[in-house]
Amino acid sequence: MAQFSPFDQQMMSLALQEARKALYLSNPNPRVGCVICKGDKILGQGFTQRVGGNHAEIEAIANARHLGASDSDLQGSAVYVSLEPCSHKGRTPPCCDALERIGPARVVIAMQDPNPKVSGQGVARLVQLGITVHCGLLEQEATSLNLGFVKRMTQGLPYVRMKIAASLDGRTALLNRQSQWITGAAARADGHHWRAQACAILSGGGTVREDDPQLTVRDVVTQRQPLRVIVDSHLETPLNAKVLNDANVLLVCANPEPKHLRAMQDALKEKGIPILELPNPKGKVDLPKLFSYLAKEYEINEVHVEAGFKLNGSLVRESCVDELLIYQAPCFLGDGLGMANIASLNQLSDRQDWTIIDHRLIGGDLRIRAVPNKAKK
Ligand code: AOF
Ligand code: ZN
């Protein structure tokens, strides 16, 4: 790590701060920040814009120009960027070309781009141009900002975060299915922050029928709404459900009655809402296949699950969950539905273990984040 000075650290922290500004914005593109310096002076900074818009490097160059930097200021500069600059032409031209035009002396990169179209080729290109390249500064921070993008690029699957609001005794609804509201307003607002950074919000037909949720981001300001994905095996979502109010939704079924399927297809075609048939041999929706479909066809990096007992259970049992986001309210609800439908065990040693990675109070509720322990051999 000797190649990085305290100033380098400071500048990459600033680049990461820029990257965080793209948290709700840049999906399915990774959140990237860039800072351009000459000596100890910052010339410009920027972050990834909406998909199809500028990458962080282009924004930082434009910002530097806007602030008065000349060609000779940019020549020989140091560029700090939280992701390897792209070398390919995607929706936008390669950032390496833009860097070549300004001619920096050094480029410091936090993490390699896991996109196979780039992955090392950006660095190779910069080196070929005679630029000094240093990689790996604050790599973990950069990676943790883009867990979904990394998982999609490396495994063809999205990162799945399951949100659950429960009581101290782990109840998520009363026996009569009433579930609104167990946690307080602050926890609900915090939930919207997680919704806003997801590419898709996943819920079940049962939740849609019982709560009629919109599954949109409302409590935080955002320029984009995640795709709503409804797992509804028998296609029982009522046509007047709020989630069907606009076309930013995908209905996924398993084995609906053929006549009913056709009627629903006809009704939803007018609204531009697709129905995906994805049955598994048990006649339920094939969840692992659904996730690879979402990654491949919709470029979904992060899925935010807000579902009920049954779908949560299927997702946990089928090892589809990368992270639990649990809001626990300090109350008892007695008999009711639990967090996830897991079959009863005979041995404590058969349980599925998770590791808590964060816990804090949100208003009067406890927020716990946990990731699954690797399967025992
Ligand atoms: C960068 N800087 O800020 C980001 C990068 O379709 P495009 O042209 O927008 O390219 C998307 C790909 O570019 C994306 O999959 C990832 O590999 C890289 N993202 N690269 O140099 C950035 N967001
Ligand atoms: Zn780029």
Residue in 4, 51, 5 with CA at minimum distance from that of residue 32: 51
Distance 10 CA to ligand 2 centre (A): 22
Is 53 a pocket residue for ligand 1 (Cβ < 6 Å)?
A: no
Q: Is residue 138 part of a domain?
A: yes
Ligand 1: which residue has its CA nearest to atom 17?
Answer: 115
- First-to-last C-alpha distance (Å) of the chain: 35
**What is the model's pLDDT at position 2?**
58
Tokens read off for 127: 């080196």
pTM of the model: 0.95
Of 97, 115, 145, the one marking the end of a domain is 145
Quote the pLDDT of residue 377: 46
* Whole-number pLDDT of residue 35: 98
| Judgement on whether residues 26 and 165 belong to the same structural domain of the protein | no
Give the residue, by CA position, lying nearest to ligand 1 atom 9.
91
Pocket test for ligand 1, best of 113, 126, 143, 299 (most atoms within 8 A of CB): 113
Same domain, 118 and 43: yes
- Token look-up 């779908």 returns 311
In a domain, 1, yes or no: no
State whether the beta carbon of 115 lies less than 6 angstroms from ligand 1: yes
CATH number of the structural domain spanning residue 20: 3.40.140.10
Q: What pLDDT does residue 209 have?
A: 93
Task: Tell me: do 208 and 182 sit in the same domain.
Answer: yes
Q: Write down which residue in 126, 145, 164 finishes a domain.
A: 145
Q: Check whether residue 157 and residue 46 sit in a common domain.
A: no
Residue from 23, 25, 29 whose mutation best tests the ligand 1 pocket (most atoms within 8 A of CB)? 29
* Residue of minimum CA distance from atom 13 in ligand 1: 86
- So what's the pLDDT on residue 87? 96
Q: What's the gap in Å between 48 CA and the centre of ligand 2?
A: 9
CB 196 within 8 A of CB 217: yes
Q: Residues 130, 188: one domain?
A: no
Could you tell me if 131 and 215 lie in one domain?
no
Q: Is residue 307 part of a domain?
A: yes
Residue 183 belongs to some domain of the structure? yes
Are 225 and 326 found together in one domain?
Answer: yes
Which ligand has the minimum distance to the alpha carbon of residue 91?
Answer: 1
DSSP string, 213-239: ------SS--S--PEEEEE-TT----T
Q: Is the dihedral of CA 318, 288, 301, 329 positive or negative?
A: negative
Which pLDDT belongs to residue 362? 98
Closest CA to 316 of 343, 296, 337, 294: 343
Same domain, 136 and 162: no
- Each of the 377 residues of the chain gets a pLDDT tens digit; together they read 558 999 999 999 999 999 999 999 999 999 999 999 999 999 999 999 999 999 999 999 999 999 999 999 999 999 999 999 999 999 999 999 999 999 999 999 999 999 999 999 999 999 999 999 999 999 999 999 999 999 999 999 999 999 999 999 999 999 988 888 899 999 999 999 999 999 999 999 999 998 899 999 998 999 999 999 999 999 999 999 999 999 999 999 998 999 999 999 999 998 999 999 999 999 999 999 999 999 999 999 999 999 999 999 999 999 999 999 999 999 999 999 999 999 899 999 989 999 999 999 999 999 999 999 986 54
The CA–CA distances, whole Å, from 170 to 121, 206, 207, 320, 374 equal 49, 20, 18, 21, 24
Q: How far is the CA of 29 from the centre of ligand 1 (A)?
A: 6
For ligand 1, atom 18, which residue shows the shortest CA distance? 86
Regarding whether 276 and 137 lie in a shared domain, the answer is: no
Count Cβ atoms below 10 Å from residue 232 Cβ, excluding itself. Answer: 25
Coil, strand, or helix at residue 275? strand
Q: State whether 179 and 62 are in the same domain.
A: no
- Has 57 been annotated as catalytic? yes
* 107 lies in some domain: yes
Shared domain for 122 and 141, answered yes or no, is yes
**Numbered residues of the known binding site:** 55, 86, 95, 165, 179, 181, 195, 207, 211, 215, 218, 233, 306, 308-314
Asked if residues 170 and 336 have their Cβ atoms less than 8 Å apart, the reply is no
Indicate whether 345 belongs to any domain: yes
Choose the final residue of a domain: 98, 126, 145. 145
Could you tell me the residue range of the domain that residue 305 belongs to?
A: 151-372
Domain count, the chain: 2
Spell out which residues have Cβ within 5 A of ligand 2, the ion.
Answer: 55, 86, 95
Query: Any idea what the CATH number is for the domain that residue 208 is in?
Result: 3.40.430.10
Do 101 and 85 fall into the same domain? yes
In a domain, 377, yes or no: no
Cis peptide bond upstream of 28, omega within 30: yes
Instruction: Select which of 57, 59, 84, 323 is catalytic.
Output: 57
The whole-number pLDDT of residue 181 equals: 87
